[in-house]
Structure 1
Amino acid sequence: MDLNLRDIRALVAVAEAGSFTRAAERLHLSQPALTVQIRRLEDAVGARLFDRNSRNVALTPTGRELLPLLRKSLRDMENVLRDARAMGEGESGTIRIACLPTFAASALPELIIGMKRDVPRVVFQIRDVVASTVNALVRNEEADIGLTGGEVLDPLLEVLHAGVDRLVAVCPKDHALAKKRRVSLADLARSPLVLTAPGTSVRAVVDAALSETREALDIACEPTYMMTAVAMVRGGLGVTILPETAREVRAEPGLVVKAIDHAAFARPIAIVKKRGRTLPAVTERFVERMRATMNAPR
């Protein structure tokens, strides 16, 4: 027969109270029910744990040796149950998120600060990677949720929330486009361009949008990182096109950001999880915060 938590609680209560009657009152049990629990525990151990008579109850030598061990087991199990309840209620746990670098460097820090304010025991594991890797990490269950870019076509992924990230043109203050309130597709097609590397979700959107022009494009360079693209623009190599949410677009005082007057310059973004998988309660709470941030006006 296995030991159970209630029987261990019963033994500790009787040992501390020195009386079945007082222990039963403390545990809100009838005395016969408490007696059954102690006998069940003695059967499981295979030894008598209490000597009883009409006046008092005393631990046997076996009971005295077992008491500290059972007290420790009781504390450990109560801690486990308390932690499990906290995780089940979303009051603790680990949030494993894979996300686009633009999100990691813009909205994510404030979201984490707010979450930790409300849930101090939450822990974050963050992977800031390109969209294809976000999808792979969620699909392979190395992350529970992802903030990805582009159309979500993977049947193993479930979209929890969808949004749009507008793209903007970034150029030096003395560039011809800096004088315009909005830039057109033709303006971009006639300018040397600094574009993020092929394979990124931003580049896929830019390539699709620029395919509408018949101009021969002048792509000056194709850096992997947005900050590198910004540095290239600062150096005078051309104009770059980045998400308006990217911190990099406002990192340089010598550069200006211009809206693009064309609907195609918009990157779909989505919160995803693996289809059929249940999210931890604390992660569900964080997803709600992400949704509110994505819906907020910019």
Structure 2
Amino acid sequence: MDSPPLDIRQLEAFAAVMSAGSITGAARLLGRSQPAVTRHIKELEADIGYELLHRSGPRISPTQRGLQFHAQVERLLFGLKHIRARAEAIGAATLPAFEFACTSALAAGLIPDALAAVDPALLPDKIHIQSLSAEGVVQQVLSHAADFGLASLPVEHPGLEVHWIGEAPCIAALAPNDPFAQQDVVSLRDIAKRRVITMANPYRLRRRVDDAFAVAKTAPAQMIDANSSLTALALVRRGLGVAIVEPVMACALELEGVMLRPLDVEIPFLFGAISPAAHPLPPGVAALNEAVLKAAALIPGFRLHDLASADLLSDLVYGPKDHENALR
């Protein structure tokens, strides 16, 4: 027989405990009593058949299963909030809220200019922008929790509609007093002699950075990796190294204390716009998509790719097969 659905109050209690880190904090967040929150958690654990929290006196911490379960609960609760907002918009005969999921670099580098360029009559009263990992963006769009997404490549999935794919060369970010900042173009071999700051995800931009060093037959002895370009740029401002970063956020924000220079080798940053497959974009989202593409076209060295050129795009994302063999 099918199991009955989980109690939403129990899920809310668990999510609040994970956010607050304690039963006391969760009770205050929810406006419930501590005994009620404790009871909801115990009932939830009994229902699903395993512990979600380690308990050591007043201290609690999530179990490994609890961490995995929390990711699913967050997605469900966000989806319910999304449904409520849509229901309210239907009742008020207004445009439903726009839900955008973007990586932090693309959210900060493209969305503000794009939104400013869209006719306000096409925009709803509420717009939600989530900054997530590229994988998180894909999952939000696939689950229809987001109407539109911007993510670095790869974004291949049969449940996605890819509207366009762009490419722009990565750049070097340096402190103003860095000797390399006086050069018009920065050599990758020179950078390798210093501490290099770049991205951590081995399946996206970091893969192409590592490949570029391998082709140049060099590698940095010291490295700091981070999961956001903003963190990398902040490290550069403190003189902690030379960063190799995507150009979208760096060029858009123009941070004081950071100098940007082209590299002597091209390391492509690939990104694109996605939405759920077989769901036409509403007029406002379609207008935003066009505005995002116009904003992206202002990035130095930007190129728009033909979506029909599947082999070329595959080589850009994953590297040519003969190139991969040469690196082994």
- Normalising by the smaller structure, the TM-score range is 0.5 to 0.7
- Give the match for residue 3 of structure 2: none
Match of 2:270 among 265, 268, 271: 268
User: Does structure 1 residue 171 correspond to structure 2 residue 181?
Assistant: no
What is the 5 A alignment of 1:150-189?
150-189=153-192
Corresponding residue for 2:285?
Answer: 283
Superposed CA offset, 1:173-192 (max 9, x none):
22231121111222222222
Q: What is the match of residue 95 of structure 1?
A: 98
Equivalent residue for 1:238, pick from 221, 225, 241: 241
Deviations 1:32-88 (A, max 9, x none): xxxxxxxxxxxxxxxxxxxxxxxxxxxxxxxxxxxxxxxxxxxxxxx97993xx7xx
**Structure-2 separation of matches of 1:234 and 1:196:** 16
CA deviation profile, 1:230-270 (whole Å, cap 9, x unmatched): 2322333211111222148865433311111212x121111
- Does the 8 Å contact 1:130/1:201 carry over to 2? no
Partner of 1:195: 198
Give 1 or 2 for the bigger CA radius of gyration. Answer: 1
Residues 66-115 of structure 1 show CA distances to partners (whole Å, capped at 9, x for unaligned) of xxxxxxxxxxxxx97993xx7xxxxx332211112112112211222333
Query: C-alpha separation between the residues in 1 aligned to 2:174 and 2:298?
Result: 27
Contact 1:226–1:248 under 8 Å retained in 2? no
Deviation sequence 1:193-222 (CA, Å, 0-9, x none) = 012223473323322322313223223322
| Structure 1 residues 249 and 192: CA distance shift in structure 2, 3 A | farther
Matched pairs, number? 212
SS at match of 2:155: coil
Distance 1:196 1:286 in 2: 28
Check whether the contact 2:137–2:150 (CA below 8 A) recurs between aligned residues: yes
CA contact 1:96–1:125 (8 Å) conserved in 2: yes
CA distance in 2, matches of 1:186, 1:93: 51
Which residue identity lines up with residue 94 of structure 1 in the other structure?
Answer: A
Instruction: Indicate the residue corresponding to 2:30 in structure 1.
Output: none
What's the CA shift for 1:289? 2.0
Structure 1: give runs of 5+ residues left out of the alignment: 1-78, 87-91
Maintained 8 Å contact 2:98/2:124: no
Q: Find the counterpart in structure 1 of residue 45 from structure 2.
A: none
- Provide, for residues 105-160 of structure 1, a one-character-per-residue CA deviation record: whole Å limited to 9, x for no partner: 12211222333634354531211112111111111211121111123322322210
Change (3 A) 1:127 1:278: same
Aligned equivalents of 2:112 and 2:211: distance in 1? 31
> Residues of 2 paired with 1:160 and 1:236: CA distance?
39
Matches within 5 A, 1:110-189: 110-115=113-118, 117-119=120-122, 121-189=124-192
**In structure 2, how many angstroms separate the alpha carbons of the residues matched to 1:230 and 1:297?**
17
Matched residues in 1 for 2:240 and 2:98: separation?
40
Is the 8 Å Cα contact of residues 220 and 237 (structure 1) preserved in structure 2?
no
Distance 1:269 1:105 in 2: 14
The structure 1 segments of at least 4 consecutive aligned residues displaced by more than 6 Å after TM superposition are: 79-82
Instruction: Assess if the C-alpha contact under 8 Å between 2:167 and 2:270 holds in 1.
Output: yes
